[in-house]
Structure 1
Amino acid sequence: MARCVVDDQWPLRRAAERFQVSVSTARRWAGRYRAEGEAGMIDRSSRPHSSPRRTPTRTERRIIKVRVLRRWGPARIAFFLRLVPSTVHRVLARFGLARLAHLDRATGRPIRRYERATPGELVHVDIKKLGNIPHGGGHRVLGRAHSRRNARATTTERRNNRAPIGYSYLHNALDDHSRLVYSEILPDERKDTAVAFWLRAQTFFAAHGITVERVLTDNGSCYTSRAWRDTLATAGISHKRTRPYRPQANGKVERFNRTLLDEWAYARPYQSEQARRDAFPGWLHTYNHHRGHTALGGHPPASRVPNLPGQYT
């Protein structure tokens, strides 16, 4: 196009129509070719030579200092420094500072993400405590007052003039490599319950061709018991526990707990605890076999299971 305008003397409008660009674009490229020749045809950054309205360097340093020392988000930093949140966000992005979700809040260092190379090399185990739903619905749908009336109608037990309807305990075992999950809703988190759950979970993984080598848990009493230790030792499984007050070390199953709450436990207004429990097996099957996982490139956990349909013995 530049040669047509400069060498062949085409009108700018004709060249612009021929190459399907605007007249101003044709003028700009022709001017660069006329002034610099073929060297002027090389792509250049669109960044301006000067930015007079850019945030001052001193302000940028203050933003970075507050972020590093206090680990606040853009909105809170903006309120503290009397700036606009979008300005703070732009400065943080310009200097490549990690999102708070990618940082360890205690140390300020980026979280190290890892993935075991083969299924069964590491299985994360955890328990999620979940309040039961009274018959007729709970407070998330009906409000506190109506929920209390439903609770009183559900149980005859009274504590401090209230009707407790108890809790459910979701015992979860998640394979680190495939993210395949075995989960059960159980009445408590005692050691005998946890041990029995693990034996069933181990059978589940073995049926899918996964030999468990190591188990990672928190420091709950059921996981520090002799019964749990002896059960894993008998199966030749190594047991590792997270450091106290470091749930991010068991982050994969913790993230599954959040997904479980968002997509099953609180996904729709259940009218009873039994209705929610009835929906759990179907949701768990969808999670394992059909729901795309971002860490697996959009594929479900079943895509990484070596013996999914049980074709091997």
Structure 2
Amino acid sequence: MPWKQESVMDKRVKLISDWLSGSYSKSQLSRRHSISRPTVDKWIARYDAKGPDGLKDLSSKPHHCPHQTSDEIISRLLEKKNEHLDRGPKQLIHRLRNAEPEIAWPAASTAGAWLKKAGLVSTRKRAHPRPHGAAKLREANEPNQTWCADFKGQFRTKDDRWCYPLTITDHASRYLLLCKALPGTHGEPTRQGFEWAFREYGMPDVIRTDNGSPFASTGLARLSSLSVWFIRLGIYPETIKPGRPDQNGRHERMHRTLKAAVLKPAADNLMRQQLVFEDFVHDFNHYRPHTALGMKVPSDLYSPSPRIYPGYVPAAEYDSDVDIRRVRSNGEIKWKGSHIFLGEALIGEQVALKEVDDDTWDLYLCTYPLGRLERGAKRVSSL
């Protein structure tokens, strides 16, 4: 049978028991229990003050932490978060510091911990890594090199009507150029939204979208009536790969912010929803700092394009070394005795055929490549 080991608490209880018996002086207790005289005094004093609880080990936690966040600071942080539920700790602390720089606001990580403790942070699902295929997308490091566009998922306003938000952003600066509440994704209202943006901000070099309607189609070169209009204005329509929304990731991130900020709940009708969108656009561009921009706001980096929208579609111009054909009302051209179908999106347009080899021609709309045509072929093949 093993020897019974005496705990530290047992030794303290035995010390106090001997003291209370009256048979020992403090000096004798010191020698009997092999401890110093001050230690005897300490445990007797703690027993007199708190009884048996005084013999327990005290917490090593400091009574005061100079870096502890005050209740007032926490209250202000939670109040600001409740005003802007879509903002994270970095944005909240950045805005609070700008408004009241004289206050020692905590670090964003500390603010995040308090928000999480208060139940104001929703845990985001971890995204599975996507395969990184080669993306033939043009670089856009300056404003107006590339604009990104999409429709945020549709929802119903309180009057039970559908709302399809058309959104356009500048890729480099994240500036939100347009957030328009539309009743659908039809081509003409969408075109009017872009036309407003062109008049307000000028024209970009590239417009990047997904492959859905009205931006693209299943026809030749995936062109739609809208993308044909872009080409005629000298804008290159660029589509991401199907199933790769990460290729338009900055725009998708803005959509997440938009949904959190203004779509819970939806407004009474489209007109009121548009007013909510306009408030969001102003705040997003001028007051919301972005980590990727070094905590600057988009308006700090964006400036309108020098490419002025002419208000009309210029005539298509081609070099003299090409053959020109007009696309007929049935979507066809006549070439070398054959009727070649190009698609409805190109009806009425003049296209150019440039010979690149014996009996082989490349087909263009302005400078945009449509495909390759060989003698005797019944359709245009991809380049």
* TM-score normalized with structure 1 length: 0.49
Report which of the two has the higher share of helix: 1
Q: Which has the higher contact order (CA 8 A, sep 6+)?
A: 1
TM, length-normalised to structure 2:
0.41
